[in-house]
Amino acid sequence: MSDVLQTMLKIGGLWKSFAGFVATRDVSFELKAGEIHAVIGPNGAGKTTFFNLITGHLRPDKGSVAFEGRDLVGLPPQRIVRLGIARSFQRINIYPRLSVFENVQVALIAHEGQQWNLFRPGRSLHREGTRELLELVGLAAEATETAGELSYGKQKQLELAIALASQPRLLLLDEPTAGMSPQETSETIASVRDIVKARGLTLLFTEHDMSVVFGIAERISVLHHGEMIASGAPDAVRNDPEVKRVYLGNNAHG
């Protein structure tokens, strides 16, 4: 109760295994509204599984996921998006054969629930909103290009625009800078931070680049072999002996 920030996402005792392999082991976790929170951990630590469990892509074996007090377990992705959680994917997940413009436009149509409108011409809808979002992520000049032909970094930006089109309160970005050059990485991170702050969003992201993580995260959680071994302010996590042992100390690259 001492904290002025409200809990936005509360996860308790979350388990998930695949054919005997435990990918998520008794994870409990709390996310405060308005914070920028990083989930780190070596490859295979279960970061993406963790995201998939929150967003309804996977169903947990056990445990609870509550968003603003509402239980999410068992809800399909489309319901969870409508409650205010949007995500990007580690592997590019866009509409490669549609134009950049249409990629965002269809997300806005979906957000407004207009996918059931059989009469209004789809391409005439949300032109202004689409343009604004493309400008926000720096893709205004590429609007008419085929999305699949964009550079990798720009496809990542498009992912972000699609996620923002759902007007989430909580944004989940799965390795937003994976595969980017250091230059692109720092630009992307600055832009993500600006957008999140300007829109008053809560950000939960996974990342393996430590400079990125310690550059913008206000809180950090560490996953290791599916277990949440630490969660707290960056300095506390950096100095946590357990974290040092398994992750930062010997293999910062992951």
Partner 1 sequence: MPQRNQLIASAALVVLLALLPLAGSRYAVDLTTEVLIYALFALSLNVLIGFTGNVSFGHAAYFAIGGYTCAILLTTYRWPLAISLPAAVVLAGLVAAVVGYFCVRLTQIYFAMLTLAFAMLVWGVAFKWKEVTGGDDGFTGINLPAMLTNHVSYFYFTLAVVTVAIAALWVICHSAFGLTLVAVRENNVRTGFIGVDTRRMRWAAFTVAGSFGGLAGALFGMYHRGMYIENAFWTESAQVLIMVLLGGMYSFVGPILGAATLHLLQVFTNQYTTYWPTVLGLILLVIVMVLPDGLIGLVSRVKARWGKT
Please report, as ranges, the residues that interact with partner 1 according to CB under 8 A: 55, 57, 76-78, 81-82, 86-87, 89, 93-98, 102, 105-107, 109-111, 113-123, 125, 162, 165-166
Distance in Å, CB of 5 to partner 1, minimum: 27
Residue with smaller CB distance to partner 1, 78 or 251: 78
Residue with smaller CB distance to partner 1, 40 or 165: 165
Buried b (16+ CB within 10 A) or exposed e, 49-66: bbbbbbbbebebeebebb
Residue with smaller CB distance to partner 1, 108 or 246: 108
Residue with smaller CB distance to partner 1, 109 or 136: 109
Residue with smaller CB distance to partner 1, 144 or 183: 144
Indicate the pairing of strand 85-87 with strand 170-174. Answer: parallel
Distance in Å, CB of 140 to partner 1, minimum: 21
**DSSP 8-state code for residue 119:** S
User: What is the phi-psi region of residue 165: left when phi exceeds 0, alpha when psi lies from -120 to 50, beta otherwise?
Assistant: alpha
Distance in Å, CB of 122 to partner 1, minimum: 3
Distance in Å, CB of 80 to partner 1, minimum: 9
Distance in Å, CB of 86 to partner 1, minimum: 7
| Relative orientation angle of helices 127-136 and 100-111, to the nearest 10 degrees | 120
Buried b (16+ CB within 10 A) or exposed e, 227-242: bbbbbeebeebbebee
Residue type, 125: L
